[in-house]
Amino acid sequence: MNQVFDKAEGISMAVDSGSRRSAESGEVDMQANIPSATVGKVFVDHAKMAIRNVDVFYGEKQAIHNVSLDIRKNEVIAMIGPSGCGKSTFLRTLNRMNDTIPTCLVKGTIELDGNDIYDKKLDVVSLRARVGMVFQKPNPFPKSIYDNVAYGAKIHGLCSSRIELDEVVETSLKKAGLWSEVKDRLNQPGTGLSGGQQQRLCIARAIAVSPEVILMDEPCSALDPIATAKIEELIAELSENYTIAIVTHSMQQAARVSNRTAYFHLGYLVEVNDTEMVFTNPEHSLTEAYITGRFG
Amino acid sequence: MNKMSTIEKIEKGLKRRYFSERLFQIFGISSIVFGLLCLVVLLTDIVGKGHGAFFQHYIRLTVVLDAEKLGIDDRATSEQIAMADYDSVIRESLLELFPDVSGRKQKKQLYRLVSDGATYRLQGMLAEDRRLLGQRVDVWVSADDDVDVYLKHVDAEKEASSRIDEQQALWLAALQAQGRIEKRFNSEFFMTGDSRNPEKAGIKGALMGSFYTLMVTLLLSFPIGVAAAVYLEEFAPKNRWTDLIEVNINNLAAVPSIIFGLLGLAVFINFFGVPRSVPLVGGMVLTLMTLPTIIISSRAAIKSVPPSIREAALGIGASKMQTVTHHVLPLSLPGMLTGTIIGMAQALGETAPLLMIGMIAFIVDVPQGITDPSTVLPVQIFLWADSPERAFTEKTSGAIIVLLGFLIFMNAVAVFLRKRLEKKW
């Protein structure tokens, strides 16, 4: 199993360089076979977020083509696909983080509990309080561990007293599985923690504002296997209370942590289905080619 | 087997690589040594010439504060004390020391040993304690500048071409023999403003002028510069207009400073009617000059804040403004301070633009605020360097030392602040 994935990594490097040359097996053409509509189980009942016909442009270049998808409440949905397939871009449209890129343009509708998040009336600040984000590289503020976690609650005015704030910090750190490791040094800088601890601190910071959805953009790509295992465990625990969308490069990770998996390819959403289905019985030939490591 | 192995090839090139590395190091070290040497020469020259400005010779006179001679009657009002004829009692005491002196010319030479400022000394004493009236008191008064220069250099033979004639030299020798001459720390140098008499000229006027001018500059340029930088970096859309503004700011940094002086004259003084020669207008002109430096360095500091920090803040719902004030500004403040201190150091040493707005005037009074006419340290140095009296030579170097001290103090404060604010991530 491992060997297959190693190979997949190697090939992804070749594809990264932008060439359209066929992969080792020679048969799969990257451009061909893209379905006109996403195959698999795209729509679900009780959708937390409903994405309909979303196109994303960076200036002239179109990064996302006509993606429709439902995210169910309290599920973990993994987004996989080769580098540059638009999965990170797609994730960032879900809490409007791509607003910060001036040339970025989003078309279509994205609804959170039935409200369009790109509606002018909806404030981006409250959106991001409801849809939190954890980034690829751990990015704690250069402040104390306590202040890192308390920051969100402070700016949103969630706590009226110091005691309440202490409580929020403690529960958030406990939920992130970091409390026992840092409870004696809450006043030390968050940047002094190890990489894995930093990432869990960032997760604690995100859940301190009690979001409904947590977006994770390759949260383990900078971490060693032990730290990764801890984060994966944490994701499983968090999914009881939160809806989680995670972008990952590791197919094992997607298989381990997610309920559903979405496969992106060159800006198209090719296939969405229950994770087990995607990895054991993919419907589309591109998905199959990717998970069997025929291209990265 | 002609073919060399890889290791052989590498070893062959090694020697040359090390040689070029050594050569580069030698270049680097020699340029540093040259720079240090220049600095040492400069500093020794300035300190060697300027340390004399901090010392001054004083002559002990025994004066009789005779009410009748002073023209003070029993009432001894402040007005009388202010207007009294102290010159005559000082002359009397000198004549008492050298009874043989006769003839108008010789007497005049004798009187010239003591500074004009001696009268103020006596006046000050009387004003403080009126019981001294009619008594015989010992008082240390400063020597005339020519006497001071002569006494400072009397040991060095080459100073023969002094403005002291033989007769005066004999008198001074006699005074010295009586222990009536002493070299003391010249505290007056730091307590008074400019004067035509070198022994009375002090640096405080220029020092306070520089201080007020720089305060105005700092209070205007730092907030304006940082606000401009933050807006341009964080909020402004990236389009042709902001590009144009950026190019213009960069160009402004290269504009000769005298142009800013002309601008200040035309706009602040002639159009807005700000009074000339005051620290307020000087600070405004220097603000124009330092703004580009502060804006450019602040923008660089803001750019160096990792975008991940902004994303982290935005990602948990901080507004743009909160992201800037809570995270970007604190992290970029050390860099902004560096730019500000460079700008302020530049402003401190600036002369040209201040000439245009009248800060080159001869001003005796120490300024008490930003609207009092004043001059600044570099201008004072220029004025003194331009004065004919020999004693001003060492005053000039002394003023340079004070300017350097001011600069070092300013930099030290900035370095201290930066160390306090610096955070690691």
For residues A271 and A254, give the distance between their C-alpha atoms in angstroms, rounded to a whole number.
14
- Cβ distance A128 to B317 less than 8 Å, yes or no, reads yes
- Cβ distance B317 to A127 less than 8 Å, yes or no, reads yes
Q: Is B236 on the interface with A (CB under 8 A)?
A: no
Q: Flag whether pLDDT at B412 surpasses 60.
A: yes
Give the closest residue to B54 by CA, choosing from B167, B201, B225, B180: B201
CA distance from start to end of chain A = 15
- Cβ distance B316 to A95 less than 8 Å, yes or no, reads no
> Which among B238, B311, B322 has CB closest to A139?
B311
Segment (H or E) for B185: strand B181-185
> Which among B238, B316, B331 has CB closest to A132?
B316
Chain B residues with CB inside 8 Å of A208's CB? 316
- Cβ distance A137 to B308 less than 8 Å, yes or no, reads yes
The domains located in chain A, with CATH, are: 2-139+212-291 (3.40.50.300)
Nearest CA of chain A to the CA of B320: how many Å?
9
The mean pLDDT value of chain B amounts to: 88
Give the closest residue to B210 by CA, choosing from B34, B47, B399: B399
What pairing do the DSSP bridges indicate for beta strands B55-64 and B181-185? antiparallel
Chain B residues with CB inside 8 Å of A93's CB? none
How much is the average pLDDT of B160-178? 80
Predicted confidence at residue B291, as pLDDT, reads: 94
Predicted confidence at residue A216, as pLDDT, reads: 93
Q: What is the CATH number of domain B204-421?
A: 1.10.3720.10
Band (B224; pLDDT cuts 50, 70, 90): very high
Q: Is B239 on the interface with A (CB under 8 A)?
A: no
Nearest 5°: phi and psi at A109?
A: -125, 145
Q: What residue ranges do the domains of chain B occupy?
A: 54-185, 204-421
- Cβ distance B317 to A133 less than 8 Å, yes or no, reads no
For residues B19 and B336, give the distance between their C-alpha atoms in angstroms, rounded to a whole number.
41
Residues of chain A with pLDDT under 50: 1-26
| Residues in CB range of A8: below 8 A, 6 or more apart | A251, A290, A293, A295, A296
Decide: B209 and B281 in contact? Cβ < 8 Å.
no
Q: Mutation target for A interface from B304, B316, B328, B331: give the one with most A CBs within 10 A.
A: B316
For residues B417 and B409, give the distance between their C-alpha atoms in angstroms, rounded to a whole number.
12
> Which among B308, B322, B326 has CB closest to A139?
B308
Q: Is B137 on the interface with A (CB under 8 A)?
A: no
Chain A residues with CB inside 8 Å of B315's CB? 95, 97, 128, 132-135, 206
Chain A residues with CB inside 8 Å of B322's CB? 155
How much is the average pLDDT of B66-92? 80
How much is the average pLDDT of B149-166? 70
For residues B381 and B392, give the distance between their C-alpha atoms in angstroms, rounded to a whole number.
10
How much is the average pLDDT of B68-77? 76
Decide: B325 and A155 in contact? Cβ < 8 Å.
no
For residues B93 and B85, give the distance between their C-alpha atoms in angstroms, rounded to a whole number.
14
Could you tell me how many residues make up chain A?
Answer: 296
C-alpha triplet B146, B148, B150: angle, nearest 5°: 70
Nearest CA of chain B to the CA of A68: how many Å?
24
Q: How many CB atoms lie within 10 A of CB A125?
A: 16
The most distant pair of C-alpha atoms in chain A lies apart, rounded to whole Å, by 64
Q: Mutation target for B interface from A91, A97, A125, A136: give the one with most B CBs within 10 A.
A: A125
Chain A residues with CB inside 8 Å of B306's CB? 139
Decide: B113 and B94 in contact? Cβ < 8 Å.
yes
Range among A142-156, B25-39, B299-313, B386-400 rated most confident: B25-39
Segment (H or E) for B50: helix B6-50
| Closest residue on chain A to B235 (Cα) | A100
- Cβ distance B315 to A129 less than 8 Å, yes or no, reads no
> Quick one: B183 exposed, middle or buried, by C-beta within 10 A (0-12, 13-18, 19+)?
middle
Extended beta strands in B47-172, E state: 55-64, 136-142
Q: Is B424 on the interface with A (CB under 8 A)?
A: yes
Predicted confidence at residue B213, as pLDDT, reads: 95
SS3 state at B138: strand
Mean pLDDT is lowest, of B36-40, B93-97, B219-223, for B93-97
CB pairs under 8 A between A and B: 73
Question: Tokens for A283?
Answer: 């419907």
Segment (H or E) for B170: helix B166-177
Enumerate the H helices of B198-348 as residue ranges. 204-230, 240-252, 257-264, 279-303, 307-315, 320-323, 329-348
Question: Tokens for B107?
Answer: 């007497």
How much is the average pLDDT of B256-269? 92
Q: Flag whether pLDDT at B186 surpasses 70.
A: yes
Predicted confidence at residue B159, as pLDDT, reads: 53
Q: Flag whether pLDDT at B69 surpasses 90.
A: no
Give the closest residue to A168 by CA, choosing from A187, A150, A147: A150
The three-state DSSP-derived secondary structure of chain A is CHHHHHHHHHHHHHHHCCCCCCCCCCCCCCCCCCCCCCEECCCCCCEEEEEEEEEEEECCEEEEEEEEEEEECCCEEEEECCCCCCHHHHHHHCCCHHHHCCCEEEEEEEEECCEECCCCCCCHHHHHHHEEEECCCCCCCCCEHHHHHHHHHHHCCCCCCHHHHHHHHHHHHHHCCCHHHHCCCCCCEHHHCCHHHHHHHHHHHHHCCCCCEEEEECCCCCCCHHHHHHHHHHHHHHCCCCEEEEECCCHHHHHHHCCEEEEEECCEEEEEEEHHHHHHCCCCHHHHHHHCCCCC
Q: Flag whether pLDDT at B79 surpasses 90.
A: no
How much is the average pLDDT of B104-129? 85
Predicted confidence at residue B207, as pLDDT, reads: 93
The mean pLDDT value of chain A amounts to: 84
ipTM over 0.85: no
Predicted confidence at residue A24, as pLDDT, reads: 44
Predicted confidence at residue B249, as pLDDT, reads: 92
What letter represents residue A37's amino acid? A
For residues B328 and B306, give the distance between their C-alpha atoms in angstroms, rounded to a whole number.
9
Q: Is B240 on the interface with A (CB under 8 A)?
A: no
pLDDT digits (tens, 9 = 90+) for B298-310: 999 999 999 999 9
How much is the average pLDDT of B18-24? 94
Mean pLDDT is lowest, of A205-219, B72-86, B393-407, for B72-86
What pairing do the DSSP bridges indicate for beta strands A115-116 and A104-112? antiparallel
- Cβ distance A202 to B312 less than 8 Å, yes or no, reads yes
Give the closest residue to B280 by CA, choosing from B203, B363, B212: B212
